[in-house]
Amino acid sequence: MKKVAINGYGTIGKRVADAVSAQNDLKIIGVSKTKPDFEARMAVEKGYELYISIPEREKLFQEAGIEISGTVDEMLHDADIVVDCTPEGIGAQNLLKYKEIGIKAIFQGGEKHDNVGLSFNSFANYDDSWGKDHVRVVSCNTTGLCRTLKPIHDLCGIKKVRAVMVRRGGDPSQVNKGPINAVVPNPPTVPSHHGPDLKTVMYDVNINTVALLVPTTLMHQHNLMVELENQVEVDDIVETLDKTSRVMLVKAKEGLGSTAEIMEYAKELGRSRNDLFEIPVWQESLNIVDGELYYMQAVHQESDVVPENVDAIRAMLEIEDNAEKSIQKTNKAMGIL
Ligand code: NAD
C-alpha cells in the first residue's frame, strides 16, 4: 500500500484523508494541523497520526491534551506522496520544501497553475500526470465545468462555451466570509479566471466565464451556453450525461429545484458530512436552441474535488495507468453514484 500524507487537515484535507483511507491500495500515514482545535482532536479520535506544522506550538497541543506524532517534516519523510490542502498560497511556499525533500506533491485549486506547472482532472488529462512529481487538482468550479463539458465535447464537439458562475459566499463554517446581503460581481472584470483555468485541463476548449458571489454557503451554481460543432438532440445529451460517472441528472419536478433541496438529497444519501461528490445537472434546463446547448448545474464545493485527488495519487505514483479503471475504483470505494 502506498503511503499518503495530508498537509492541512481542513475542509478539503479531512475529506481527502477519509477518501484515501477508503481505498485498498492507499493508506494515510499522517495528517497535519497548525492549531489544537476540534478538527485536530477529531483526527486523533479517528485514528489518524497527527503532525504539527508549527513545531513551536507543541506545548499548545500538549496543554489541550491532543496527542501528536511529530512534525510535518517527520511526516513527509515517511510518505510516498503528500496531498497539500493548506489555504490558498501556502501550497506554493510548501512546494519549495517538497522539492528539497524530494517528495511528490498534489496541490489544490487555490494554488496558481503556473506555480505548479501541471493541472489535473480525472476525465480530461489523467495520463499527463503519469509519474509526475507536482500536480494541481483544479478548483471546485473548474472540476464542475470539466465533469459535464468533457463528455459533451467528446460526443459532439464544442465550438464555444459561455458560462455564468454563481458562487457561494463562503463555506458553511466560514463565519467571517460574505456577502450577507448583496450580489457581488466577483471578479468585477469580464471574463473571469474560471475559463482560463478550465483550459489548464481541457486544453482546446474555447470558453469565457463571468462570476458572481451570492449570500449562500451550500453550493455553487453554473449556467452554461454551449455552441456545438455537430448537430445532436437534447436526448443525446441527456443519455451522455446520464451515463457519465460523477455527474447526476436531477429533476426540479421531483422536488430538487434548488441547491437547498439538492443538499437535502445529499443528506438522505447518508454519506459522511452530507457530501455530494457528483455534479447535479437540472434535467429540465437542458435545451438546444439554434445549435446552442443550454443547461444549469450545481457544485458541492466542499467535496467535488475529493475523488479527483485520489485519482491524481494513482497517476502520479504509477499505480493505475488506465484513467477509467482508477475512476471506477475510487467511485466504488467512496460509494459514488
Ligand atoms: P481550510 O482553511 O478549510 O483548511 C486548511 C487547513 O490547513 C486548516 O486545517 C489549517 O489549519 C491548515 N493550515 C493553515 N496553514 C497551514 C500551514 N502553513 N501548514 C500546514 N497546514 C496549514 O481550507 P480549504 O477550504 O480546505 O482549502 C484548501 C485548499 O483547497 C485551497 O487551495 C482552496 O482554494 C482549495 N479548495 C477549497 C474548496 C472549498 O470550497 N473549501 C474547494 C476546492 C478547493
- Specify the 3-state DSSP secondary structure of 266: helix
pLDDT confidence of residue 17: 98
**Spatial distance between the Cα atoms of 186 and 164, rounded to a whole number of angstroms:** 11
**Residue 226: alpha-carbon gap to chain centroid:** 23
**Spatial distance between the Cα atoms of 149 and 159, rounded to a whole number of angstroms:** 12
Where does 244-322 have alpha helices with state H? 259-268, 306-316
CB 280 within 8 A of CB 248: yes
The annotation status of 192 as a binding-site residue, yes or no, is no
Average pLDDT over every residue of 136-149: 98
Residues with a known catalytic role:
140
Q: In whole numbers, what is the pLDDT of the chain averaged over residues?
A: 97
40 C-alpha to ligand 1 centroid (Å): 14
For ligand 1, which residues put their CB under 6 angstroms from it? 7-13, 32-35, 53, 85-88, 90, 108-111, 139-140, 171, 301-302, 305
pLDDT confidence of residue 68: 97
Average pLDDT over every residue of 123-135: 98
User: Could you tell me what percent of the chain has a pLDDT over 70?
Assistant: 100
For the chain, the domains span 2-138+305-334, 140-299
pLDDT confidence of residue 273: 97
The annotation status of 139 as a binding-site residue, yes or no, is yes
**Spatial distance between the Cα atoms of 210 and 323, rounded to a whole number of angstroms:** 31
pLDDT confidence of residue 334: 97
13 C-alpha to ligand 1 centroid (Å): 7
Instruction: At 218, give phi and psi (nearest 5°).
Output: -75, -55
Three cell numbers, residue 249: 441528472
Identify the residue whose cell numbers are 470505494.
Answer: 333
DSSP secondary structure code for residue 161 in this structure: E
Among 116, 74, 80, smallest CA distance to 95 is for 116
Topology of domain 140-299 in CATH is Dihydrodipicolinate Reductase; domain 2 (3.30.360)
**Spatial distance between the Cα atoms of 2 and 134, rounded to a whole number of angstroms:** 17
Q: Give the residue, out of 6, 31, 37, 86, with the most ligand 1 atoms within 8 A of its beta carbon, to mutate for a pocket test.
A: 86
Among 227, 212, 210, smallest CA distance to 161 is for 227
pLDDT confidence of residue 337: 82
Average pLDDT over every residue of 52-74: 97
Among 106, 73, 111, smallest CA distance to 92 is for 111
User: Could you tell me what percent of the chain has a pLDDT over 90?
Assistant: 100
Q: Give the residue, out of 9, 12, 171, 175, with the most ligand 1 atoms within 8 A of its beta carbon, to mutate for a pocket test.
A: 12
Nearest atom (ligand 1) to Cα of 12: 26
The annotation status of 101 as a binding-site residue, yes or no, is no
| 221-272 per-position pLDDT tens digit | 999 999 999 999 999 999 999 999 999 999 999 999 999 999 999 999 999 9
| 82-111 per-position pLDDT tens digit | 999 999 999 999 999 999 999 999 999 999
41 has pLDDT over 90: yes
More confident residue, 337 or 108: 108
Nearest atom (ligand 1) to Cα of 34: 11
- Strands 292-299 and 247-250 come out as unpaired
**Spatial distance between the Cα atoms of 161 and 191, rounded to a whole number of angstroms:** 12
- What is the CB-side half-sphere exposure of residue 283 using CA atoms within 13 A? 16
Instruction: Tell me what ipTM this predicted complex has.
Output: 0.98
Which run of H or E residues covers position 235? Answer: helix 234-243
- Specify the 3-state DSSP secondary structure of 181: coil
pLDDT band at 175 (very low <50, low <70, confident <90, very high): very high
DSSP secondary structure code for residue 127 in this structure: G
pLDDT confidence of residue 284: 98
Query: Where are any strands of DSSP class E within the chain?
Result: 2-7, 26-33, 50-52, 70-71, 81-84, 104-107, 119-120, 134-137, 158-168, 184-185, 207-214, 220-228, 247-250, 279-282, 287-289, 292-299
According to CATH, the superfamily of the domain at 2-138+305-334 is NAD(P)-binding Rossmann-like Domain (3.40.50.720)
Which residue, by CA, sits nearest to atom 30 of ligand 1?
108
CB 137 within 8 A of CB 109: yes
- Burial call 19-31: b when 16+ CB within 10 Å, e when fewer: bbeebebbebbbb
**Spatial distance between the Cα atoms of 20 and 14, rounded to a whole number of angstroms:** 10
pLDDT confidence of residue 46: 97
Identify the residue whose cell numbers are 464545493.
Answer: 301
